[in-house]
Amino acid sequence: MLFRTLSAAVYGIDANLIDVEVDAGGMLSEKDNFMTVGLPDAAVRESRERIRAALKNCGYDIPSTKIVVNLAPADLKKEGSGFDLPMAMGILGAYNSLIKRELPEFVFVGELGLDGGVRGIRGALPIAIAARERKIPNLIVPESNAREAAVVSGIKVYPVRSLIQVVQLINNGNGVSPIQVDTAELLDKAQQFTVDFKDVRGQQSAKRALEVASAGGHNILMIGPPGSGKTMLAKRMPTILPPLTFEEALETTKIHSVAGVLEPGAGLVGVRPFRAPHHTISDAGLIGGGMIPRPGEVSLAHNGLLFLDELPEFPRNVLEVMRQPLEDGNVSIARAAMSLTFPARFMLAAAMNPCPCGYFNDRSRECPCTPEMIQRYVSKISGPLMDRIDIHIDVPAVNYKELRSNSSPEDSAAIRERVLQAREVQLNRFAAAAERIFCNAQMGPRQIRTYCELSSDCERLLERAMQQQGLSARAHDRILKVARTIADLDGTPEIQSKHIAEAIQYRTLDRTYWA
């Protein structure tokens, strides 16, 4: 007898619905009594052993006849263990263990344990979105994935723990109720931070640079000796970034769900991601890859912050592959079987020592590094990559008086309020002109000419800086973008000389180290 169920497979960050066709009752074959066709990977082929044991241990007596499972469309590669549950339901339906003769209104996903338990899978959120788009009203998922899938409105999500529960739901319509999730409450609860800028003593110029970077979505590089607080500052940047919108949270959660890094039971990624990969990471780990490509760190940092500590220690080939996502906001990965594009619009925050020993220009310690050693160290970072970093800021060591000061540093909430006001100015500006960008860092050449007009004084100041420091055309655009953000923080519609001067100050490290 032939029985059909529905499941789904994830490709990139989107899902395609898969027809699971089960034909049972054929003549026994000496070679194989359970065949799975339709481009299954090893995990899907191995599911026959899990399914047999799960059905047996749940008390279902399956006759020893030939079973053929077809996963359609057959030209798409199927991977993962999420097909266990729909295949088991198809087998039960083919042997008349289900009251219904077909299940077109249900999508099933889940891995089966040998005892019939249903375990979590990757990509529940994009699967729920795909089911809603196909107007399938019901989705049955493992309990650990239910809150994640339930953030999609317009579809009933049933959390299940065992195969027996699923059969009871299909046959009797009871035993499991659809889960309800308040997405607004999820986002509100997520906006809790354990760190704050008030923990950072001193470093006023660095804090100001981080505020400017956050207000305009600019990439930033911090240069300073060990122990000066670069990592401490970077970890607090998410506390001053604007909160995620629901659309941003949904897109971010899809990426984390597909990558398998979403916390169990978490419905949404409610705060902007902060990713800090180690400098031993490979280019595939940073950008993404695999036989069926999965997101890398740049995509996991989408709508958030990617922090690269000890930047020169990263292999040069790893750093160079970041140039495309920094410019385009996405990553394209081509394989023989398919080509996928992952979103990767993130803020880059990087930190490095000024020299191999870390104490170049430090007043308290002598630096033994020669000019050749320093040049060799900093030249590990290419000029094109440096040009894509809007702000370079020096982070000197904090002196004793600042560490022991009784003054109370400004907290993240006060800084965040200014950042939000500046972002609101930018959103209104670009929305009025029907521009599909959301912050100053995303401006292209046309927007820069439109929104970064300069007075004659500003023109002379910028021209002198370009000539003296030998800045590139890309650095010229970066200065104008940063100046526009500083003006927005000041609440002035025109870019003034002081805004240009501060923006140029954030490029002076070009002359100090890379000239």
pLDDT tops 80 at residue 99: yes
pLDDT tops 80 at residue 485: yes
C-alpha to C-alpha distance for 492 and 34, rounded to whole angstroms: 72
Helices (H), 134-282: 146-150, 163-172, 183-190, 204-216, 230-235, 246-259
How many C-beta atoms surround the C-beta of residue 30 within 10 A? 5
What pLDDT is attached to residue 433?
A: 77
CA distances from 260 to 256, 257, 474, 475 (A): 6, 5, 37, 38
CA dihedral 63, 66, 72, 74 (to 10 degrees): 160
Listed residue (161, 175, 512) closest to 371, CA to CA: 512
What pLDDT is attached to residue 515?
A: 45
107 forms bridges with which residues in the sheet? 139
Listed residue (77, 40, 69) closest to 52, CA to CA: 69
Phi, psi of 7 (to 5 degrees): -140, -165
> How far does the chain reach from its first CA to its final CA, in angstroms?
76
Q: What is the C-alpha R_g of the chain?
A: 28
CA 92 to chain centre: 39
Q: DSSP labels for 489-500?
A: HHT-SS--HHHH
What pLDDT is attached to residue 452?
A: 93
pLDDT tops 90 at residue 434: no
pLDDT tops 80 at residue 389: yes
Model pTM?
Answer: 0.89
What pLDDT is attached to residue 100?
A: 86
At CA 358, angle to CA 357 and CA 363, rounded to 5?
Answer: 115
Domains of the chain: 2-172 (3.30.230.10)
Q: Which amino acid is at 223?
A: I
| Residue range 446-454: mean pLDDT, rounded | 92
Listed residue (120, 127, 76) closest to 106, CA to CA: 127
C-alpha to C-alpha distance for 66 and 28, rounded to whole angstroms: 5
CA 65 to chain centre: 46
**Res. 514 pLDDT band, cuts 50 70 90:** very low
C-alpha to C-alpha distance for 201 and 404, rounded to whole angstroms: 8
Angle formed by the axes of helices 124-133 and 246-259, nearest 10°: 120
For the stretch 254-304, pLDDT in tens is 999 999 898 877 788 889 999 999 999 999 999 988 777 889 999 999 999
Listed residue (230, 225, 228) closest to 357, CA to CA: 225
Residue 9's SS3 state is strand
Structure tokens at 279: 């400098």
| Residue range 184-204: mean pLDDT, rounded | 84
At CA 348, angle to CA 436 and CA 273, rounded to 5?
Answer: 80
pLDDT tops 90 at residue 458: yes
Is residue 242 reached through a cis peptide bond, with omega within 30 degrees of 0 on the bond before it? no
C-alpha to C-alpha distance for 123 and 255, rounded to whole angstroms: 8
pLDDT tops 90 at residue 480: yes
CA distances from 270 to 125, 155, 243, 411, 501 (A): 14, 21, 8, 21, 37
CA distances from 97 to 110, 175, 194, 398 (A): 19, 18, 52, 72
Residue 2's SS3 state is strand
**Res. 405 pLDDT band, cuts 50 70 90:** confident
Residue 13's SS3 state is coil
Is residue 73 reached through a cis peptide bond, with omega within 30 degrees of 0 on the bond before it? yes
The overall average pLDDT reported for the chain is: 89
C-alpha to C-alpha distance for 186 and 150, rounded to whole angstroms: 12
SS3 annotation, 84-99? HHHHHHHHHHHCCCCC
**Res. 32 pLDDT band, cuts 50 70 90:** low
Counting beta carbons within 10 angstroms of the beta carbon of residue 180, is it exposed (0 to 12), middle (13 to 18) or buried (19 or more)?
exposed
